[in-house]
Structure 1
Amino acid sequence: MSPLSISSRVAIVSAQWHADIVDRAVESFQARLRELGVVNVDVYRVPGAFEIPLLVRRLAASGRYDGIATSALVVDGGIYRHEFVAQSVVEALMTVQLEMDTPVFSGVLTPHHFHEHEEHRNQFSRHFVTKGEELADAVASTLTTLASLQA
């Protein structure tokens, strides 16, 4: 993968439910993009995953970003099916991407099992570091490929 233009501008929208875990992905996403030469990364925070698609749509409509990433941890809260929330969010992100012609990347994760205890919190914190790096690599690869189509 060739390095991205230093002028590439990327946003990441993260949900604040379980921010102590989700922010690990945001931090590793930013760090990995810096390694790849992207220094223009704006971070936006929303209350939960369900609020992500509207902000992503507005950011895409602004024309300021070459790509927009997202990060959230959607867990079973016992009130409604968390799979429904995650599926709705990811489908909405795909719709934004296709309608706005702006690459949108999902780091909205729904674990099969998550419990509010130290072992799981530590495990998922480490996992989100990896996911943030993988998200950055996906952004870099996709933006590089899209840029090559314009050449």
Structure 2
Amino acid sequence: MPTFEGRFTNVSDLRIAVVVARFNDLVTSKLLSGCLDCLERHGIDTSASSKQLDIAWVPGSFELPIVAQRLASSANYQVVVTLGAVIRGDTPHFDVVVAESSKGISAVARETGIPIIFGVLTTDTMQQALERAGIKSNLGWSYALQALEMASLMTVLPPRKLS
């Protein structure tokens, strides 16, 4: 019985795209910093002239799926990380944005066959979001680890059958 697992080594040929929502950038910029720190510590070139990493900024979490789809469909990346923060307010807007961004991001992964990491914080308060973006721990680091593992895992899985 084969066991398939991703590894965190041999990242020299890995190309990663990160899509970051500008809305709540106090939080998302911290998530991005944690993500980049993890990638760099695992051997990814995160410099401004990097050939391994591209970063795209979008207005908000609702726009993450369309840009993730464009990047994943380009065949230039083995994995795409989406980073956003949706904080509950007094209106149902939170529910709409969370539902559509999560459905859209998962649809992109299924349609393209490229792993799309869902790094969208969904919290009730700004304090909770800040805690998850660095005050207590930085989930951006975890999203980067997921990206490395999934990119590696995809290389050892059996190939997709075209129907």
Give the TM-score range, shorter chain: 0.7 to 0.9
> 1:19: how far off?
0.6
Instruction: Give the length in aligned residue pairs.
Output: 147
Alpha-carbon distance, 1:127 to partner: 5.3
1:132 aligns with 2:140: yes
**Residue 145 of structure 1 corresponds to which residue in structure 2?**
153
SS where residue 126 of structure 1 aligns? coil
How high is the TM-score relative to the length of structure 1? Answer: 0.86
Please give the residue correspondences for 1:1-151 in structure 2 after superposition, counting only pairs within 5 Å. Answer: 1-39=7-45, 40-111=52-123, 113-115=124-126, 122-126=130-134, 130-149=138-157
TM-score (norm 2): 0.81
Higher-helix-fraction structure: 1
Cα distance in structure 2, aligned partners of 1:98 and 1:54: 14
In 2, Cα distance between equivalents of 1:14 and 1:77? 21
Query: Hey, what's the Cα distance between the residues in 1 that align with 2:96 and 2:103?
Result: 10
Deviation (angstroms), 1:146: 1.3
Q: Judging changes above 3 Å, is the alpha-carbon distance between structure 1 residues 103 and 127 closer, same or farther for their aligned structure 2 residues?
A: farther
AA aligned opposite 1:104 = I
Q: Structure 1 pair 48/42, CA: closer, same or farther in 2 (3 Å)?
A: same
Q: What are the superposed Cα offsets for residues 87-121 of structure 1, whole Å, 9 maximum, x if unpaired?
A: 2111111111111111100111111x214xxx667
Given the superposition, is the C-alpha separation of residues 26 and 147 from structure 1 closer, same or farther in structure 2, using an over 3 Å criterion? same
SS of the residue corresponding to residue 108 of structure 1 reads strand
